[in-house]
Amino acid sequence: MNIKNLTITLPCELGTKVWCVSEKACMGDLTGGCLGCYSMDNTGNCYHPGRIAREKEFSIEMLNDFGKMVFLTKEEAEQAIEDMKESDEIC
């Protein structure tokens, strides 16, 4: 089967501002410490339980998460966070 001319329709243009649901992170690190942290990654950033909506530029890598963790509006992202809380997916 030849799939050379396969095209997809993107939900928005590349580079468009979108809202992503992600873990809350703070600027605390191993030396400065941060009250309330429950884990740190290998760069020393710490994370708090829960999720937050963050604005980012849309890239092709986000396509599979569009409508699940990536949204066109902040309101849609915040609603997804609330839905996750109700279904016990996050703290």
Render pLDDT for 34-89 as a digit per residue (tens, 0 to 9): 444 555 566 666 655 678 899 999 999 999 999 999 999 999 999 998 888 887 65
Task: Determine, yes or no, domain membership for 46.
Answer: yes
Q: CA 42, CA 31: separation in Å to the nearest integer?
A: 13
Q: Which residue range forms the structural domain that includes residue 77?
A: 17-86
pLDDT at 26: 58
How many domains does the chain fold into?
1
63 or 7, which is more confident: 63
Task: Determine, yes or no, domain membership for 28.
Answer: yes
pLDDT at 46: 60
The tally of CA atoms less than 13 A away on the side-chain side of residue 36 is 9
Q: CA 37, CA 35: separation in Å to the nearest integer?
A: 6
Task: Name the pTM for this structure.
Answer: 0.66
pLDDT at 6: 79
Q: CA 76, CA 88: separation in Å to the nearest integer?
A: 18
Strand blocks (E) in 1-91: 17-26, 39-40, 46-57, 70-71
